[in-house]
Structure 1
Amino acid sequence: MEMQTEPVPLCVTCGVCCTDAFFRFSTVTPEESARLHALGFPIETENGREIFTHACTQLRGAACNVYEARPATCRKFFCTTLTALGDGAIDRAEADRRVTILKAAVRRVREHLVQGERIWEFRTRIYADPEASPQARLALVSLDMLADRYFKPRDRRFLS
């Protein structure tokens, strides 16, 4: 999908797709594996495919340290807020509002992580445990609802 709006300004204020909040890993094509490894990506093999786990090691603040050389999977991903902004369905103020509330939800979830735990690990643990803290579950469900509503494509949603 070719965007009408330059995605960099919104993306560098957000960067959540590169953290551990949405995805457990990103796939790497065989053609780019050596190049990405040389850039410092910790490439692993899982179920016969090459991946790197999230949070991405190239994330600096909310921006990609190797943006011009980023993996194909990253180049192809456009969150639904970025797409709506590019299509003119929302304005920049609405896009920024969505990013602000999403980042606040991520911070609330991080308050419940155990030392060294990633959000995708926390998600697995909390949803599997019927006795999990109601506050932790509420923080996670809130994040996942926001992600589903404003950021994740329909085929990759958490709750729907």
Structure 2
Amino acid sequence: MSPEEFSLAAPRLCTACGMCCDGTMFQIVRMQPGEVPAELGRMGLKIRSRGGEYYMEQPCSALKDNRCTVYERRPVRCRLFNCQQLGRLQTGETTEAEAMELIVETRALVEQVKSLITQCGLREDGQALMERYERVMFTPVDKALEPELARTRDELDETMRKLKLRLNREFRLPPNSH
């Protein structure tokens, strides 16, 4: 794929996906040397500190309708990140249509996980998907007293397992590749 074609296709895929910003793929984004946390906070990003390290919580508060509202001033890690689908598109290993199909299928899995989390009694609370999943799964359930809830949690666990596998195989970068 030519650089010109890629520069047109990539934004279409990113705005159809958004999983790197909406709390699906990541829970936090670590700030990099030279970044000014207070400046990012003034832009409306949820900046936190732990052990002297600054990070941005996900889902990103700058993401509106799968578009970054601070795109030109976004954090360094956001600028540098290209998911596996963008990499494969750039090298010609996949087409835009194939990548889009995978995004649509994966977004459907995300929606299924969110629905199951809600069925388990946890409403949307602005936390990353994995945090919400873990809150549901760590809440004790007596299978004898709540068999339907136990079945729903089993389905949630299986669906989340499929989603994590898909994200790791198709979207997240392998460890030590960035």
TM-score normalised by the chain length of structure 2: 0.77
Q: Which blocks of at least 5 consecutive residues in structure 2 are unaligned?
A: 142-149
Structure 1 residues 121-130 or 17-26, which shifts more? 121-130
For the Cα contact (< 8 Å) 1:112–1:136, is it kept in 2? yes
For the Cα contact (< 8 Å) 1:41–1:58, is it kept in 2? yes
The match for 1:29 is 32
Q: Does 1:66 align with 2:70?
A: yes
- Structure number with greater Rg is 2
The match for 2:11 is 8
Measured against aligned partners, the alpha-carbon deviations of 1:13-55 in whole angstroms (never above 9, x if no partner) come to 1111101111110011353223212211121101221111110
SS in 1 for 2:20: helix
Deviation at 1:63, TM superposition (A): 1.2
Q: Which one of 20, 25, 39 corresponds to residue 43 of structure 2?
A: 39
The amino acid of 2:113's aligned partner reads: V
Measured against aligned partners, the alpha-carbon deviations of 1:109-136 in whole angstroms (never above 9, x if no partner) come to 1012212254121343466679762111
Q: Which one of 134, 140, 164 corresponds to residue 144 of structure 1?
A: 164
Q: When the two structures are aligned, how many residues end up with a matched partner?
A: 154
User: Take 1:134 and 1:91, find their aligned partners in 2: how far apart are those partners?
Assistant: 35
Amino-acid identity (%): 27
User: Take 2:71 and 2:88, find their aligned partners in 1: how far apart are those partners?
Assistant: 22
The amino acid of 1:57's aligned partner reads: S
Q: Which blocks of at least 5 consecutive residues in structure 1 are unaligned?
A: none
Equivalent residues in 2 for 1:9-158, closer than 5 Å: 9-32=12-35, 33-113=37-117, 114-115=122-123, 116=125, 118-125=128-135, 133-155=153-175
For the Cα contact (< 8 Å) 2:83–2:171, is it kept in 1? yes
**RMSD of equivalent CA atoms:** 2.2
